[in-house]
Amino acid sequence: MADISASSKWHEECGIFGAYSHTEDVSMMTYLGLYALQHRGQESAGIAVTDGAWMDVSRGMGLVNEVFRHQIPHMDNQYIAVGHVRYSTTGSSLLANTQPLMVNYAGGKISLAHNGNLTNAAQIRREMEEQGNIFQTSIDSEVFVNLIARSKAASIEDKIIESMKKIEGAYCLTIMTEDKLIGARDPHGFRPLCIGRAGDTWVLSSESCALSVAGVHYVRDVEPGEMVVIDKHGLKSYKFATVEKKAACIFEYIYFARPDSIIDGQSVHEARFMMGRILARESKFKGDIVISVPDSGTTAATGFAYESGIPFVEGLIKNRYIGRTFIQPTQKKRDIAVKLKLNPIVSVVKDKDIIMVDDSIVRGTTSGKIVRMLRKAGAKSIRMCVSSPPIGYPCYYGIDTSVRKELIAATKTVEEIREYIKADALHFLSLEGLKASIQSASSDDMCCACFNNYYPVESPKNDTVGADKYVFEHLKK
Amino acid sequence: MADISASSKWHEECGIFGAYSHTEDVSMMTYLGLYALQHRGQESAGIAVTDGAWMDVSRGMGLVNEVFRHQIPHMDNQYIAVGHVRYSTTGSSLLANTQPLMVNYAGGKISLAHNGNLTNAAQIRREMEEQGNIFQTSIDSEVFVNLIARSKAASIEDKIIESMKKIEGAYCLTIMTEDKLIGARDPHGFRPLCIGRAGDTWVLSSESCALSVAGVHYVRDVEPGEMVVIDKHGLKSYKFATVEKKAACIFEYIYFARPDSIIDGQSVHEARFMMGRILARESKFKGDIVISVPDSGTTAATGFAYESGIPFVEGLIKNRYIGRTFIQPTQKKRDIAVKLKLNPIVSVVKDKDIIMVDDSIVRGTTSGKIVRMLRKAGAKSIRMCVSSPPIGYPCYYGIDTSVRKELIAATKTVEEIREYIKADALHFLSLEGLKASIQSASSDDMCCACFNNYYPVESPKNDTVGADKYVFEHLKK
Amino acid sequence: MADISASSKWHEECGIFGAYSHTEDVSMMTYLGLYALQHRGQESAGIAVTDGAWMDVSRGMGLVNEVFRHQIPHMDNQYIAVGHVRYSTTGSSLLANTQPLMVNYAGGKISLAHNGNLTNAAQIRREMEEQGNIFQTSIDSEVFVNLIARSKAASIEDKIIESMKKIEGAYCLTIMTEDKLIGARDPHGFRPLCIGRAGDTWVLSSESCALSVAGVHYVRDVEPGEMVVIDKHGLKSYKFATVEKKAACIFEYIYFARPDSIIDGQSVHEARFMMGRILARESKFKGDIVISVPDSGTTAATGFAYESGIPFVEGLIKNRYIGRTFIQPTQKKRDIAVKLKLNPIVSVVKDKDIIMVDDSIVRGTTSGKIVRMLRKAGAKSIRMCVSSPPIGYPCYYGIDTSVRKELIAATKTVEEIREYIKADALHFLSLEGLKASIQSASSDDMCCACFNNYYPVESPKNDTVGADKYVFEHLKK
Amino acid sequence: MADISASSKWHEECGIFGAYSHTEDVSMMTYLGLYALQHRGQESAGIAVTDGAWMDVSRGMGLVNEVFRHQIPHMDNQYIAVGHVRYSTTGSSLLANTQPLMVNYAGGKISLAHNGNLTNAAQIRREMEEQGNIFQTSIDSEVFVNLIARSKAASIEDKIIESMKKIEGAYCLTIMTEDKLIGARDPHGFRPLCIGRAGDTWVLSSESCALSVAGVHYVRDVEPGEMVVIDKHGLKSYKFATVEKKAACIFEYIYFARPDSIIDGQSVHEARFMMGRILARESKFKGDIVISVPDSGTTAATGFAYESGIPFVEGLIKNRYIGRTFIQPTQKKRDIAVKLKLNPIVSVVKDKDIIMVDDSIVRGTTSGKIVRMLRKAGAKSIRMCVSSPPIGYPCYYGIDTSVRKELIAATKTVEEIREYIKADALHFLSLEGLKASIQSASSDDMCCACFNNYYPVESPKNDTVGADKYVFEHLKK
């Protein structure tokens, strides 16, 4: 079995959601919200609900519609829910590692959904284990709930704040107690989290694209270093930390987020369209048509076409039905996976000078296969434009990155990459161009570490271990 | 449970495939081929294989990757396979109605996969029943195998030809005996069927988009009224019928086929792009941007943009993960289904004069919801362009059409439809414009009955029953 | 995967059931009835129901509680149902071969459940195929429905009778039309079928043990050569054939039927208990204790103990939870399967002279393993008593028998068998003793062909093919 | 859905198993062992294995053959495994509550399988939570692993011993570290645990009946208060506690254990057979036949027959295929569940004076239904013998007992019970008789609290809460 849906892209780790309402069905809202956040994680899904006394969680491996095929969690008087979709960044693909995590502690029950990656989780966990703690999963969210449970602070709010002060790295959280829905975003604001509302109904969501389907309107983003507590008194804000410079992940705008989301005031589509426009200006590429590698390159491609006046045409068709497939090992060798997913439209590309736009190049193998495919279909020339700079450095903040040596841009120049993928020309968007694309948000508040090696939070020393999602599983070996 | 993937579109019924090879894995080729034909039917899938002596079939409800999650059919010396994906046009959504149908008859075993709809199947079936035949399914393919089995002709080729002479309507077939792979296309050529080859490996496929993934190249289309027989002697052609005018379904070019397919010499993408260009000329609509209803309207939208010079931009985001969902009845009332599937990009559509392109309007309800959605997102005006004429008449040849009164264009004028969907302007592509879009194929050889009420094959008298996919199930009531 | 529930016993093929009621839930009655008939077939289960207009069937592989885990068939005004549990005698273990078979024919719909084996089905099928009939399953029940459908007789009753006159072999049927429940038993009465009733509620069942759970009381057995038709006018009987000598399968009393059933007036328990008593008289075996091979040998063992005065004690414990198991091939070699199923009680058998009673010996391998197991547990001596004569001849009437050469008694004398299984003594019940055990039924009306080579219905000439459950699948090879 | 396999019996909680071998497949041994222990728990099953570095666990709801239908855990160099089957005594029927529990702690990984019930777990858990511990399950085994992880002792052996000293109640454990297999039995020896061996292959098992299928022979029982550690040096024994009086659960001999097991030197079958003999002496009941309520009453019934000379005959047939069934609420009212499970043999019981033996009476409802069933079948009189004294007091040591008021013997005299179940006579085995049945073990070392209200370990004060399996789930409400 091969998962040919697995792209050569970097993977965003998770989507989180929370709903508080005495009038609406919070479980259904969360279910619909997770549907809209499915692009952030397809490995597992979970929903926890409470009626103020009991708390229940339902989790499983697979897409939201697979996990909740027959039913969604339901309690008669449920009024708070949190949900999670996951692409594994820490921990193996095990049922035990699915979220939300639901635990008992001295203060009651809490359920927690987490998006991000803690850079000092391994160290804290080791310390806790030395003090006699056990760990039943290999996800760093379990460190979080242990910190909360061990806090001597009086209120749950203070317990969470105290815990967050010990934690470093990237995290957004939606936490549910028996009577509160709590959201928090790390001081750098690596990952997005926004607030939606309709009357007394409140929602927390990784992205604003999930708000309308949940029936609420966008209020604002949770601020970096802010915790919001929603209960019967409404929403209360706590500022638990400030840092000199915020560091929102710029890759959310390049690839992760859905184009119809707005993050920190910046429309994702607008940013991505502008990347395409600036690409056109920077590259000065000419050709007969602009095509995209669907779907991730399409917005920038339309921007390129807009700026250059060269028409945008579909040149590659993406099979919409790809999932886990049953392919024999011998078949795999023959590029079947890419062929199943993408097919060129011969009548479009034949005898054409093509400008092809994609969002990023990680290892370069897929780009090479696509170029070969287009050439075989008769393309006269292929100029490739990438709407991000070369990725030369790994991510420690929640992206499923390979170790540095697997990143093609860590070891090859742009010209060497061009030669490797056999394109006629290759242009990467400059970092300046990228930052200029993000006009509504302050581009100084962005984390661009994967491009410029400037890490806002100290990274683990060893770059093999640091970015390793199996970190907790190796510890004891 | 509601299937929110169910669009308001007309549904193509089936995709068929066949492979013959002594060197390649015909079962795997068929599996991959069905993957590429998945857009033609998502309800069930099946593959039959033979090793020359035994024959086996595996069928199930669901997508190709669901039905064949753990294994695909396999025999040690298999060398012929036929496959089928289905959207039900006749018969209920039952396991018993999946294809390929595999039966024993006096001459041995045959497996048959069928795409299309027979207009006189009910009548033939009734006659056969009166002669003592039983029927175990409610698909009209069972009529076919009975005709073949009862034929007194000497060879299987003649048996099939004799059967086809009794049958009226639309059909493409891939049939497998213990030593032959046979393909046939009805005299009018309603549905597509093409031939692929690589050395001694032969493939039959509903669409050419499935050839490259199976590792073969396009040879030609099977001609209307042609039967091809592939065995150890290679391919042999039989012309079993000729009609004055061919009648290939024009909707294949408008909506059903994948843009990367070539049908009867005409690139689907090219036709669809040209529909957009002609739409621009006919409508003369002006606006700030051209958007599409993804994915079916996108090719025509890019053609409109090309012709008009108005930039193509994504205005609606389609959720790629929609499948069967668990939605409460009360939720359904609130347009949740459409919201889950499509979301407007506010930053794109706000304060804009929009030209929106879709491929067709069947009942008008979805178009109305989209227009409302765009207006709520701030669109200044919405001019809708449809890349087909108004659908005023039902289809009797294999499309899941409602009875005539459900077709909005059967009872409303264009102006009334515009008012119903609340668009600022509405233009349907003229039939002449549509035909002109199909330059490489003879547009005189097209069936346009749903637009012009000219039916190439006599239709059942009663238009309620005729287009009814449950026809055989009602008979006895 | 090995099915260690598969015993070395002969397998009864099927259990059938039917219910007619305007006041009770016929679908639930049939479900419960099949539960009670589960011992007659564990491979598949199915239930068909009708409300007088529509007819629906639900079938699947597995036990009744697996197939109907989530729901049983239901129609709002259902009032007739037929059900089936199957151990395959003809046809492979395929979903397509499950019953009841539901078909359309000129007269409407019928569902048919069949227990038995037709000796001339292959020949009739061949003739039908030559006349152009197709066959979609490899069960001989499909021959039956074809005969019914082709009959020119006016009424369904006459159609069925005409069909049965063409058929030879063993069969009991429950057939459902839109308004009638029909039961029939072949002229020899090979297989059992009885009638139950409670007011206007009627039941047909393979065995009387299923009546009480369905809430009805035993009325009588259907006579050999009798067809009963239940409809709004009550029950009507048709005598469609008479034969000189009836031939009820004597193995129903020895092994197949549940001890709490009464077949043709004879209590199964009473017969089996008497077999044990006569065994004691015939064998004159002495020992410390009488043990049984559970569960099939227990009734006879208690009879032996009763007659001999030697105490009955449990000497072997049967694991009640055996089903399909995951065992590695290497493990299988080591008698794991028998060990998992049976375990000796050391404290019982150690240093004892043991008389062990089982119902039959087919191949002798299991008996040998049990004797070895008991010896290893310390038994001083093991005298084995078998409550049936040596099985020297295959069965052509519905029992899953090996070809003759696999029957140990076909090639070995009793003394050779004793040596093969390493017992200290071995006694088979004499045929006279067996017949004497069945006091309430006429033992002259029994089929004892497997013991005495006297076949009531002419058997196929070739004893390899004749008893072959894959007969239809081989035909075309 | 109703689980009609659920009897009115008390439920044993769990079976545990462990295997250590460098030559045999420990995972397969554990799988087979759990099969043989299936009678001790049918709700969930799990197996954990280690290869010395990694550790993996696979758990699921259902029978062993359902949980491990497709595969069992496997590592290339696996050499230790522990397994568990569960009937829930603490915690809901949730996947999260299945065992073995596998956790990380400072010293590495451990997997733990637990049989029993800790009487001070709730209190310890509360204390731990107050110190900041979280709990993710509601089974008291989680308390155990937390105690081990928090122990400051140097070696794992000492950590476990230290933990056991804090724990009160009934427990047997199989624990696996990366290089040791450890077994332990509480100081009173409430639950059984034995050691098996074949060369360098070691096994720990709840009952000896699982040894032969695992290919090892019985060595001895683990002593109350003993811990055994198996590693590359062989088996080492630690005596961690002694108590004045042992307190092995006498119900293991009456009902829980399989008759072919030997516990603490006493054959279960021998004890149970003797209970029947003493019952005959005590009751002095006369009658035509002795029947049993299968299967639990059978051994004692054969003992009764042996002692009295009255013949043992099967009077009730048990359906072997009962599992979870789909029964409508209205059906349930009508005793369908009991009827599906047990059916009287009319020819046996009609007009007879019957002595019926069962092992115990808990609530009395099932006994009443059986008596009514026999009377309806024509029994002249029914004298019931019970091979245990009246159960007047709840169990706090691992048995799923109702609160005291549900025990019929807590509120009714023997005569009142007889009247309630409508038997003609009723005799309970005296406590002296019961003790006398257990000759090979010291009956003074038995816990008979449910009969005599003498609790070896202090029970929770409140008898509603104490025996409550949801104890941890209620805590926070």
Task: Please count the CA atoms within 13 angstroms of the CA of A366 that sit on its side-chain side.
Answer: 22
Report residues of chain B scoring pLDDT below 70: 1-12, 88-94, 323-334, 398-403, 441, 459-477
Tell me, what's the pLDDT at B445?
85
Please report residues of B whose CB lies closer than 8 A to that of C67.
none
Res. D334 pLDDT band, cuts 50 70 90:
low
Rama region for D26: left / alpha / beta (φ>0; ψ in -120 to 50; rest)? alpha
How does pLDDT run across A163-191, given as a tens digit for each residue?
A: 999 999 999 999 999 999 999 999 999 99
Res. C141 pLDDT band, cuts 50 70 90:
confident
The answer to whether A476 contacts D136, with C-beta atoms less than 8 Å apart, is no
How many angstroms separate the CA atoms of B221 and B224, rounded?
A: 9
Enumerate residues 6+ apart whose C-beta is below 8 A from C117.
C13, C89, C90, C140, C169, C170, C171, C396, C397, C398, C399
How does pLDDT run across D97-109, given as a tens digit for each residue?
A: 789 999 999 999 9
Is residue C101 predicted with pLDDT exceeding 90?
yes
The answer to whether B132 contacts C106, with C-beta atoms less than 8 Å apart, is yes
Tell me, what's the pLDDT at B42?
86
Whose CA is closest to B179, among B225, B111, B105?
A: B111
So which residues of A are the catalytic ones?
A: 14
Tell me, what's the pLDDT at B329?
56
Please report residues of C whose CB lies closer than 8 A to that of B134.
103-105, 145-146, 149
Instruction: Tell me the pLDDT of chain D averaged across its residues.
Output: 88
Distances (CA, A) of A403 to A391, A397, A448, A465, D469: 12, 14, 17, 9, 48
Q: What would the two tokens of residue B260 be? A: 């990367």
Please report residues of A whose CB lies closer than 8 A to that of B35.
319, 321-322, 325, 340
How does pLDDT run across C303-313, given as a tens digit for each residue?
A: 999 999 999 99
Considering only the beta carbons, identify the residue of B28, B212, B336 that sits closest to A328: B28
The amino acid occupying position A150 is R
Tell me, what's the pLDDT at C94?
66
Q: Helix, strand, or coil here: D97? A: helix
Instruction: Tell me the pLDDT of chain C averaged across its residues.
Output: 88
The answer to whether C331 contacts D28, with C-beta atoms less than 8 Å apart, is yes
Residue written as token pair 């040149």: A315
State which CATH number among 3.40.50.2020, 3.20.20.140, 3.90.1150.10, 3.30.70.60 fits the domain covering B266-441: 3.40.50.2020
Is residue C468 predicted with pLDDT exceeding 50?
no
**Once rounded to an integer, what is the mean pLDDT over residues C31-55?**
93
∠ at Cα D456 (D453, D461), nearest 5°? 65
Q: Establish whether B56 is an annotated binding residue.
A: no
Tell me, what's the pLDDT at A320?
85
Identified catalytic residue from B14, B194, B385, B448:
B14
Res. D321 pLDDT band, cuts 50 70 90:
confident
Task: Please count the CA atoms within 13 angstroms of the CA of D200 that sit on its side-chain side.
Answer: 10
**Once rounded to an integer, what is the mean pLDDT over residues C53-59?**
91
Ranges of each domain in chain A: 2-247, 267-441
Is residue C418 predicted with pLDDT exceeding 50?
yes
How many angstroms separate the CA atoms of D84 and D139, rounded?
A: 13
In which element (H, E) is residue C331 found? helix C329-332
Look up the ipTM and state it.
Answer: 0.90
Tell me, what's the pLDDT at A5?
39
Is residue D460 predicted with pLDDT exceeding 50?
yes
Distances (CA, A) of C46 to A258, C114, D326: 48, 12, 14
pLDDT along chain A (477 residues), means of 10: 44 86 96 94 92 91 85 92 81 72 93 91 92 87 93 96 94 97 96 97 97 95 97 97 90 94 95 98 98 96 98 95 64 69 95 97 92 96 98 81 76 96 98 92 84 83 44 41
Res. C460 pLDDT band, cuts 50 70 90:
low
**Which of the 8 DSSP states describes residue C66?**
H
CATH topology of domain A267-441: Rossmann fold (3.40.50)
The answer to whether A472 contacts D104, with C-beta atoms less than 8 Å apart, is yes
Tell me, what's the pLDDT at D8?
56
Tell me, what's the pLDDT at C395?
86
How does pLDDT run across C319-368, given as a tens digit for each residue?
A: 988 766 666 555 555 577 788 889 999 999 999 999 999 999 988 989 99
The answer to whether A346 contacts B260, with C-beta atoms less than 8 Å apart, is yes
Residue C28 to chain D, least CA–CA distance (Å):
8
Task: Give the bridge partners for B171, in sequence order.
Answer: B116
Contact between A60 and A98 under an 8 Å Cβ cutoff? The reply is: yes
Residue B361 to chain A, least CA–CA distance (Å):
22
How many angstroms separate the CA atoms of B359 and B276, rounded?
A: 9
Whose CA is closest to D33, among C319, B343, B221?
A: C319
- Output phi, psi for D471, to 5 deg: -50, -40
Tell me, what's the pLDDT at D88?
58
Contact between C390 and C384 under an 8 Å Cβ cutoff? The reply is: no
Q: Which chain B residue shows the shortest CA-CA distance from A65?
A: B325
Q: Is the dihedral of CA B386, B388, B392, B397 positive or negative?
A: negative
Please report residues of C whose CB lies closer than 8 A to that of D310.
none
Q: What would the two tokens of residue A272 be? A: 């991505």
The three state secondary structure string of A343-409 is EECHHHHCCCEEEEEECCCCCCHHHHHHHHHHHHCCCCEEEEEECCCCCCCCCCCCCCCCCHHHCHH
How does pLDDT run across B226-237, given as a tens digit for each residue?
A: 999 999 999 999
How does pLDDT run across D404-432, given as a tens digit for each residue?
A: 777 899 999 999 999 999 999 999 999 99
Res. D71 pLDDT band, cuts 50 70 90:
confident
How many angstroms separate the CA atoms of B277 and A416, rounded?
A: 40
Whose CA is closest to D173, among D161, D159, D183?
A: D183
How many angstroms separate the CA atoms of D265 and D29, rounded?
A: 24
Tell me, what's the pLDDT at A195?
98
Chain B positions contacting chain C at CB under 8 Å are 53-54, 95, 101-106, 108-109, 126, 129-136, 138, 145-146, 149-151, 472, 475-477
Q: Establish whether B450 is an annotated binding residue.
A: yes
CATH placement of domain A2-247: 3.60.20.10
The contacts found for D151-154 with CB under 8 angstroms, 24 or more apart, are D151/A132
How many angstroms separate the CA atoms of C12 and C4, rounded?
A: 17
Please report residues of B whose CB lies closer than 8 A to that of A344.
260
Q: What would the two tokens of residue A123 be? A: 């160290």
Task: Determine the residue among A56, A92, A95, A134 to mutate to test chain D binding: the one whose Cβ has the most chain D Cβ atoms within 10 Å.
Answer: A134
Task: Give the bridge partners for B357, in sequence order.
Answer: B292, B385
Whose CA is closest to B19, among B78, B62, B63?
A: B78
Percent of chain D with pLDDT over 90: 71
CB atoms within 10 A of CB D318: 16
**Once rounded to an integer, what is the mean pLDDT over residues C238-263?**
93
Whose CA is closest to B445, among B206, B265, B279, B219?
A: B265
Q: Establish whether C194 is an annotated binding residue.
A: no
Tell me, what's the pLDDT at B314?
97
Q: Helix, strand, or coil here: C469? A: coil
Give the residue with greater pLDDT, D19 vs C362.
D19
Please state the pTM of the whole predicted model: 0.86
Tell me, what's the pLDDT at A476?
36
Considering only the beta carbons, identify the residue of A131, A132, A149 that sits closest to D134: A149
Enumerate residues 6+ apart whose C-beta is below 8 A from A85.
A14, A15, A34, A37, A38, A40, A41, A42, A44, A45, A64
Q: Establish whether B209 is an annotated binding residue.
A: no
Tell me, what's the pLDDT at C465?
38
Considering only the beta carbons, identify the residue of B131, B134, B150 that sits closest to C104: B134
Tell me, what's the pLDDT at D328?
58
User: Of C15-19, C189-193, C248-252, C438-442, where does mean pLDDT reach its minimum?
Assistant: C438-442
The amino acid occupying position C280 is A
Tell me, what's the pLDDT at C406?
79
**Once rounded to an integer, what is the mean pLDDT over residues D346-350?**
96
CB atoms within 10 A of CB D160: 26
How many angstroms separate the CA atoms of A176 and A180, rounded?
A: 6
Q: Establish whether B231 is an annotated binding residue.
A: no
Residue length, chain C?
Answer: 477
Q: Is the dihedral of CA A287, A292, A297, A300 positive or negative?
A: positive
Burial A140-177 (b: 16+ CB within 10 A, else e): bbbbbbbbbbbbeeeebbebbbbbbeebbbbbbbbbbb
Q: What would the two tokens of residue C342 be? A: 């049976």
